Every structure is written in C-alpha cells, then in structure tokens.
C-alpha cells in the first residue's frame, strides 16, 4: 500500500509534452529550459570551484560566502536587508524552496491562495502539505485580478498567499498597485506571502522588477524565493534560495533540513562570485531574450495565434481559436504530430478557470534563434 497523498498522482505536463515531442522530433518551445549552454564565464568559475578541496556537505543554510553574496545583491539593488546568518537559506532549486515554504506555513486543513494560471509545483506542494489550494483567477486579456475575488477567497483557514512575479506561464509582471493590494489584504487577514521571483532578471520593455518584500507592510511577512537557474541559464544545477524574516527562516529551515539538508557545495562557492555579476550580465541577456520574445510574438501571430504580450519570464500565452476548436491538450498533440512544434497546454495551470486554460497554449522564447526559426519553418511549410 502507498500513501493517500500520492494516490492519483498525475505525470507533470512537462514530462508528458517532452515525451511526445521526442517521439515526433518536435522543436521544443515547451519546457522552461534554454536549449543553449550556460555562459562560458559562469562555467569557468564553477570548474575552478571544484578544485578547492571543498567537496563535502555545506552548512544547512548554505555556504557562508554565497549567503553573503545574496544578501549584498538585495541590499545594493533593492535596499532590502537580509541577515546572511539568520535570514537566508540555500535550497535545491526554487521547487524545493516552494515545497519548504508551503510545508513551513500550512498545516493539514489550512488554505493556501494562489493566482491562476500558476506553476504546477504549487499544487503538488499544497497536496504534500495536506492543505487546500484555492485559486484566484488572473483574467484575460491582460491577466489582472479582482480585489474582491481575492478577498472572497479568504477564510479563517487561509494561511498564505503564494505569488509568482514575473509569472510563469503568462509572463505577467505585477504592478506596484497590485502588490499593494496584496499587502493590504495580507495585513488585514494576517497572512504570510510566499513570493516566487525566479524570473527577476527577465523583465522587459524597460520595466523594473519590484520585490514583494519591498512593498510597505510586507517586509516582515514575506518569504522571497529566488534561483540562479533562469538568470544564468543553468536550470540543471538546482541552486535556489529563500530570503525571509528570522521566524519564517527558522520555519523553512525546519523543513529544509529533512528534505535535502544542504545542497551542492562547490556550485554555491562559485555562485558567490557569479551572483554579484548578475546585473552586468543580465542586462545584455535580457535585451537578447526580448528580441526573441518579439520574434516569436510576431511569428506566432502570423501562424494564426493570438499571443498575449508578456512583460517578463521565459513565456507567453496565446489563444488559438482561429486555428482550431480543439482543447489545449488535443491541439498540443496535433501540433507535435503534424507540425513538429511542442508547446505547453495551459489547462494544468488552472484550478477554477479550466475552460479559460483550454483555450491557451504556452510558448517559451528563451531558445536558440535556430530553434525559433525551425519552429517558424515547421509552422509555415504547408
């Protein structure tokens, strides 16, 4: 017998699409990972870090110089001050950080509010914690939420609001006004805010990322989650981190110590040198990815989609009513089989508005130009 919590466990949509894409040799504009390599200067620093003789367990909270580098970046960039000894935890990617945070805040029977479309691991973490996830819909056409709908979702059992800014899968970037509404509501109902900001350095059109913890009223109730994966095109290294006030850090570490205890020591040492260069490096990277976003927005419209312009992340969503009356799942399969292009259906990112999700597919533009051009050829060859 196995546990109730793993009963009816579905395979993630990323594995489903990847498997199908491999079978039909489709261009993958699907999973959120670059198809190009990590920058050479980053690889050089990592290679060097493996020669330092520091190959054993890191401390539970992370390698000290990496925690210091994380703290320095937040204080320089956003005037946010996290004590590296008591307010920072290094995790195995943001996915572990989300899991640790949900487990740390929600007891069985509690409620967790997310905005939908949401990244699918949120539902998985809620399920493992035994809490109920409630979704507040970000409405089309521009993925905005209604303050009343957010407030109506709150009950005496609500413990936290989980936000993802910039948002995967929509590419939405929350405005200061929206974050302020979240702060007002979190304070009114005494909620913790878990803020997944892994696409912090992929924000376009001259916008600036606003950390949730920098909004007045949220500094002492926010768990900020970040990662090195997206900024440095290194999704396979799984180095994420959590910055939070002391009482929340103690709570997430109480979980983290029994999940992974500690993560890769040499790569953390390397990131203590790499992270301070994030701004310098990501300005050019972001400009290049903005070009690819524009290319894929333009091409996908040409193929007959109605793309929704994103302000950040790796992704955008598009409706396809002009091309097909099928559901997102069926149309995804058809495109892989007939056009050899893999996209992600959006309904797995929805809880309430599944019908809205069924009209949407997610595109990933953080891919090589060759892959984007190949997708264009495949979509226009008939």
Which residues contact ligand GLN (rule: CB under 6 A)?
12, 14, 31-32, 119, 168
Could you tell me the smallest distance in angstroms from the CB atom of residue 181 to ligand GLN? 26
User: What residues does 160 pair with on adjacent strands?
Assistant: 112, 192
How far CA 209 is from CA of 175, 186, 205, in Å, comes to 9, 20, 11
Q: Which residue has the tokens 């009343």?
A: 148
Could you tell me the smallest distance in angstroms from the CB atom of residue 14 to ligand GLN? 4
Residue (269 or 372) nearer to ligand GLN, CB? 372
Residue (109 or 236) nearer to ligand GLN, CB? 236
Residue (14 or 295) nearer to ligand GLN, CB? 14
* Cα atoms in the 13 Å half-sphere on the side-chain side of 222: 24
Could you tell me the smallest distance in angstroms from the CB atom of residue 112 to ligand GLN? 19
Phi, psi for residue 350 in degrees, rounded to 5: -120, 150
Q: How many CB atoms lie within 10 A of CB 10?
A: 11
Helices (H), the chain: 13-23, 40-49, 64-78, 93-105, 121-129, 147-152, 176-188, 246-259, 265-274, 278-303, 328-334, 354-357, 369-380
Residue (158 or 170) nearer to ligand GLN, CB? 170
Instruction: List CB contacts of 143: < 8 A, sequence separation 6 or more.
Output: 117, 167, 170, 172, 308
Could you tell me the smallest distance in angstroms from the CB atom of residue 107 to ligand GLN? 26
Beta strands 158-164; 315-319: pairing state: unpaired
DSSP string, 3-31: -GGGTTPPPPHHHHHHHHHHHTT-EE--S
363 contacts 318 by C-beta, under 8 angstroms: yes
Q: How far is residue 368 CA from its own chain's centroid?
A: 20
Could you tell me the smallest distance in angstroms from the CB atom of residue 217 to ligand GLN? 29
Rg of the chain taking only CA atoms, in angstroms: 20
Q: What is the three-class DSSP state of 212? A: helix
Q: How far is residue 69 CA from its own chain's centroid?
A: 22
Residue nearest to ligand GLN (CB): 32
Could you tell me the smallest distance in angstroms from the CB atom of residue 382 to ligand GLN? 28
Residue (32 or 266) nearer to ligand GLN, CB? 32
Could you tell me the smallest distance in angstroms from the CB atom of residue 345 to ligand GLN? 12
Residue (32 or 240) nearer to ligand GLN, CB? 32
Residue (251 or 341) nearer to ligand GLN, CB? 341
Residue (235 or 253) nearer to ligand GLN, CB? 235
Q: Residue 364: which of 320, 306, 303, 300 has the closest Cα?
A: 300
Residue (218 or 318) nearer to ligand GLN, CB? 318
Could you tell me the smallest distance in angstroms from the CB atom of residue 30 to ligand GLN? 7
Could you tell me the smallest distance in angstroms from the CB atom of residue 368 to ligand GLN? 16
């Amino acid at each position: 017998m196995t546990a109730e919590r793993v009963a009816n466990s579905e395979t993630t949509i990323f594995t489903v699409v990847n498997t199908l894409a491999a079978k039909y040799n489709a261009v993958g504009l699907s999973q959120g990972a670059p198809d190009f390599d990590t920058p050479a200067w980053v690889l050089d620093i990592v290679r060097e870090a493996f020669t330092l003789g520091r190959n054993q367990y890191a401390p539970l909270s992370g390698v000290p110089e990496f925690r210091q580098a994380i703290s320095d970046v937040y204080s320089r960039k956003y005037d946010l001050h996290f004590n590296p000894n008591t307010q920072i935890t290094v995790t195995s990617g943001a996915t572990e950080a989300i899991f640790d945070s949900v487990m740390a805040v929600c007891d069985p029977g509690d409620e967790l509010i997310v905005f939908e479309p949401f990244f699918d691991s949120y539902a998985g973490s809620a399920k493992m914690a035994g809490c109920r996830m409630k979704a507040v819909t970000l409405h089309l056409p521009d993925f905005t939420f209604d303050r009343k709908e957010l407030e109506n979702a709150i009950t005496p059992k609500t413990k936290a609001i989980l936000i993802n800014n910039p948002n995967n899968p929509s590419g939405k970037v929350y405005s200061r006004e929206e974050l302020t509404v979240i702060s007002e509501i979190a304070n009114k109902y005494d909620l913790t805010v878990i803020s997944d900001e892994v696409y912090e350095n992929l924000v376009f059109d001259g916008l600036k990322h606003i950390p949730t913890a920098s909004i007045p009223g949220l500094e002492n109730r926010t768990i900020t989650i970040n990662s090195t994966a997206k900024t440095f095109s290194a999704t396979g290294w799984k180095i994420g981190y959590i910055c939070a006030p002391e009482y929340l850090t103690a709570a997430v570490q109480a979980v983290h110590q029994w999940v992974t205890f500690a993560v890769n020591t040499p790569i953390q040492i390397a990131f203590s040198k790499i992270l301070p260069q994030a701004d310098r490096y990501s300005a050019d990277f972001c400009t290049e990815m903005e070009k690819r976003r524009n290319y894929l927005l333009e091409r996908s419209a040409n193929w007959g989609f109605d793309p929704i312009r994103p302000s950040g992340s790796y992704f955008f969503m598009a409706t396809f009513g002009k091309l097909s009356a099928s559901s997102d799942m069926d149309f995804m399969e058809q495109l892989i089989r007939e056009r050899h292009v893999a996209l992600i259906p959006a309904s797995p990112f929805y809880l309430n508005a599944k019908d809205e999700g069924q009209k949407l597919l997610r595109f990933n533009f953080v891919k090589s130009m060759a892959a984007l051009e190949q997708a264009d050829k495949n979509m226009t060859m008939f």
